[in-house]
């Protein structure tokens, strides 16, 4: 009974003290696509990633009701740094849903107008006002929306008349800065920070301190593959880097034991394995306000799992070409580094010729019938000056004209056969990283879907006669990039090729920039006018040696630009649900497609090819 009454009291006091409107909430995932398009349209850095912001303690004054209910201590500040635009995961600040959505749009506009380096702790208030003024001057259409937001924000802020003198002065300065951006250079000093300003972006928090520079991450920190465990609370948290406890003198307590209110232990967050204890770190993390991360110098997964270790030469695929040097774009230095990547072309070692799997026979037959319409056909041209056969109709018509006295010039009386060729070729580049080992259903993994797609694609293009090649890639650091030869352009699509497709297996990481550069070299040697590069991927560029985040995306973008300069047309097919945030920056608005259901890939891939080639 006591717990029941306590639960009712908690719900009542929390509802009474919380100043939010859940019924009018707008979530970031609802406007994610709009956010990226608007940010780039307003001149923002197209390579920035949009991500949810973590809730942090703001330290501002709270009402007595909020203190009783223990609510209102934290707020999700919008922020921007060199790689990420962080926005609140949900905005329910106003009772009107349209205002909450307009607040998202204004924060996006602010992020586009701020300097590329983000905000510093000293001049961030002046920088926000400058960004507001620049946005209103460049886009007058925002003026009405901004005024509505300012009025709504001021109505929700504390009354200066009820605040201490120092806090009241800061509050009046904030109101003046909102109503007339650029009128306030800095806020007056106060004992407490002011209530967070919903219309402003804040300096981005530093997630990891500088001790990481002397303690670099191990490969386990970047381990890829497996499905991501969903957070039960679906919210971002702050993190801080800590030193690993040495475990010495564990029985000596330099404090009173009765002051110890709770305890926690460090758990390994790399890939799970069968030896993991039957605990629930996610549940413990859900109760933490700030998560501490430490590195103990040991790699448990490397003692148990050997997925990412290079296989021995006797077990690995057969190398065809080794030591192919390729450049890589260093985004931080804005420099193309020459010959820093080493690529190896491989053939599957244990690939045995096989027939098409039985579950693909019917869809393959249907695709062959559809694609036979794209096969180059012979067409007879009439009334030609020369040709292998006489045009009987033209001869009879000319004879009748002469008999009737209508003498005409010699227009030709032969039939000429013309063969319309499709002057195009296609190279399919499949991502074979370890992330393709994840399950998309109870019976299929991503790698199984890729195999089925390549089988059906080869059957469909075999019916058209268009030259095509099939290749795969994975990587483990820049000195071991694996480029798998599945089918060269001059090889027929027979049982031997089907056996190579069946032998594909996932492994390692996704250094896609080097793979695109080598695929471009292959396509640049083709004589066809249209050279299509189809990329099958399931996630962002990623590798162990810092090839992740903005670095990997920018290198991929530079490699795609170089491919376009060589006359290659790239197109990406992905099953990454977060691809909308970075794919437009890489491939353009019409250069990619996202499949929400991975199982659709085998049937969609040949039809996408037909659309891209005008069939």
**Distance in angstroms (rounded) separating the CA atoms of residues 589 and 612:** 14
Q: Edge-to-edge, what's the strand order for the sheet holding 414-419?
A: 378-384, 414-419, 389-390
Percent helix, strand, coil in the chain, to 5, is: 40, 20, 40
Higher pLDDT, 300 or 495: 495
pTM of the model: 0.70
pLDDT one-digit tens code per residue, 426-472: 999 999 998 888 888 878 899 999 999 999 999 988 888 889 999 99
Annotated domain spans of the chain: 2-203, 206-243+256-309, 318-370+422-612, 378-419
Q: Residue 422 — pLDDT band, cuts 50, 70, 90? A: confident
Q: Residue 313 — pLDDT band, cuts 50, 70, 90? A: low
Measure CA of the first residue to CA of the last residue in the chain; give whole Å: 72
Average pLDDT, the chain: 80
Q: Quickly count: other Cβ atoms within 10 Å of residue 569's Cβ.
A: 17
Q: Hey, what's the torsion of the CAs at 596, 602, 607, 608, to 10 degrees? A: 50
Lowest mean per-residue pLDDT among 21-35, 147-161, 498-512: 21-35
Report the sign of the C-alpha dihedral through residues 110, 113, 119, 124, in that order: negative
Residues with Cβ < 8 Å from 118, sequence gap 6 or more? 79, 80, 81, 82, 203, 204
Beta bridge partners of 474: 482
**Distance in angstroms (rounded) separating the CA atoms of residues 172 and 187:** 9
pLDDT greater than 90 at residue 499: yes
**Distance in angstroms (rounded) separating the CA atoms of residues 437 and 507:** 8
Give me 397's structure tokens.
């018509």
CB 74 within 8 A of CB 57: yes
What does the pLDDT average to over 186-211?
A: 76
Backbone angles phi, psi at 245, to 5 degrees: -60, 140
Of 284-293, 387-396, 522-531, give the range with the top mean pLDDT: 522-531
What does the pLDDT average to over 101-125?
A: 83
* Per-residue pLDDT, 292: 67
- Secondary structure (3-state) at 356: coil
- Secondary structure (3-state) at 182: coil
> Quick one: DSSP state of residue 323?
E
Residue of 481, 478, 523 lying closest to 322 (CA atoms): 481
Higher pLDDT, 237 or 610: 610
* Per-residue pLDDT, 314: 62
pLDDT greater than 50 at residue 262: no
> Quick one: DSSP state of residue 31?
S
Lowest mean per-residue pLDDT among 102-111, 129-138, 267-276, 487-496: 267-276
CATH number of 318-370+422-612: 3.40.50.410
Backbone angles phi, psi at 571, to 5 degrees: -150, 135
Name residue, tokens 């909020």.
66
What does the pLDDT average to over 497-508?
A: 92
* Per-residue pLDDT, 514: 96
- Secondary structure (3-state) at 137: helix
pLDDT one-digit tens code per residue, 556-587: 999 999 999 999 999 999 988 778 778 888 99
**Distance in angstroms (rounded) separating the CA atoms of residues 202 and 54:** 12
pLDDT greater than 50 at residue 384: yes
* Per-residue pLDDT, 275: 42
Higher pLDDT, 599 or 307: 599
**Distance in angstroms (rounded) separating the CA atoms of residues 283 and 261:** 18
Lowest mean per-residue pLDDT among 64-73, 193-202, 243-252, 493-502: 243-252
């Amino acid at each position: 009974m006591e717990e029941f009454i306590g639960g009712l009291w908690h719900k009542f006091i929390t509802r009474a003290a919380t100043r939010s409107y859940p019924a009018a909430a707008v979530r970031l995932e609802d406007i994610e696509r709009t956010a990226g398009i608007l940010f780039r349209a307003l001149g923002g850095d197209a390579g920035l990633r949009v991500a949810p912001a973590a809730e942090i303690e703001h330290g501002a004054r709270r009402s007595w009701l909020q203190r009783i209910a223990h609510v209102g201590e934290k707020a999700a500040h919008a922020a921007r740094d060199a790689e990420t635009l962080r926005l609140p995961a949900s905005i329910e600040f106003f009772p009107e849903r349209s205002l909450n959505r307009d607040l998202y749009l204004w924060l996006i506009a602010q992020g586009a107008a701020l300097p590329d380096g983000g905000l510093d702790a000293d001049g961030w208030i002046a920088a926000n006002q400058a960004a507001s003024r620049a946005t209103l001057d460049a886009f007058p259409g925002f003026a009405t929306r901004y005024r509505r937001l300012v009025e709504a924000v001021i109505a929700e802020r504390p009354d200066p008349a009820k605040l201490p003198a120092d806090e009241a002065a800061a509050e009046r300065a904030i109101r003046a800065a909102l109503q007339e951006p650029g009128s306030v250079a800095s806020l007056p000093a106060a004992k407490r920070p002011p209530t967070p300003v919903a219309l402003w972006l804040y300096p981005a928090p530093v997630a990891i301190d500088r001790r990481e520079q002397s303690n670099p991450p191990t490969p386990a920190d970047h381990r890829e593959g497996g499905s991501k465990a969903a957070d039960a609370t679906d919210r971002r948290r702050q993190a801080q880097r800590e030193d690993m406890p040495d475990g010495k003198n564990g029985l000596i307590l330099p404090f009173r034991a009765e002051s110890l209110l709770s305890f926690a232990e460090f758990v390994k967050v790399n890939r799970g394995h069968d030896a993991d204890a039957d605990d629930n770190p996610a549940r413990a993390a859900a109760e933490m306000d700030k998560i501490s991360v430490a590195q103990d110098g040991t790699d448990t997964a490397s003692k148990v799992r050997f997925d990412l270790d290079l296989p021995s030469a006797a077990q690995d695929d057969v190398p065809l070409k080794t030591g192919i040097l390729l450049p890589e774009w260093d985004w931080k230095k804005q420099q193309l580094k020459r010959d820093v990547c080493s690529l190896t072309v491989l053939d599957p070692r244990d690939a045995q010729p096989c027939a098409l799997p039985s579950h693909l026979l019917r869809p393959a037959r249907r695709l062959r019938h559809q694609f036979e319409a794209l096969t180059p056909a012979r067409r007879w041209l009439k009334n030609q000056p020369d040709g292998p056969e006489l045009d009987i109709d033209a001869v009879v018509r000319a004879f009748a004209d002469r008999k009737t006295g209508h003498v005409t010039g010699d227009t030709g009386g032969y039939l000429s056969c013309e063969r319309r060729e499709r002057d195009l070729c296609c190279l399919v580049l499949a991502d074979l990283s370890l992330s393709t080992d994840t399950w998309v259903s109870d019976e299929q993994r991503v790698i199984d879907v890729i195999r089925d797609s390549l089988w059906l694609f080869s059957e469909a293009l075999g019916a058209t006669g268009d030259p095509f090649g099939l290749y795969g890639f994975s990587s483990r650091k820049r000195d071991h990039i694996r480029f798998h030869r599945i089918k060269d352009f001059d090889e027929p699509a027979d049982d031997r090729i089907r056996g190579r497709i069946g032998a594909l297996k996932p492994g390692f990481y996704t250094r896609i920039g080097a793979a695109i550069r080598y695929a471009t070299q292959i396509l640049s040697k083709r004589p066809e006018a249209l050279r299509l590069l189809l990329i099958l991927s399931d996630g962002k560029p990623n590798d162990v040696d810092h090839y992740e985040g903005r670095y990997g995306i920018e290198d991929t973008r530079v490699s795609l630009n170089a491919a376009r300069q060589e006359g290659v047309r790239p197109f990406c097919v992905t099953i990454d649900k977060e691809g909308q945030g970075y794919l437009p920056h890489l491939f353009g608005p019409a250069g990619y497609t996202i499949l929400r259901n991975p199982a659709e890939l085998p049937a969609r891939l040949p039809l996408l090819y037909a659309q891209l080639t005008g069939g």
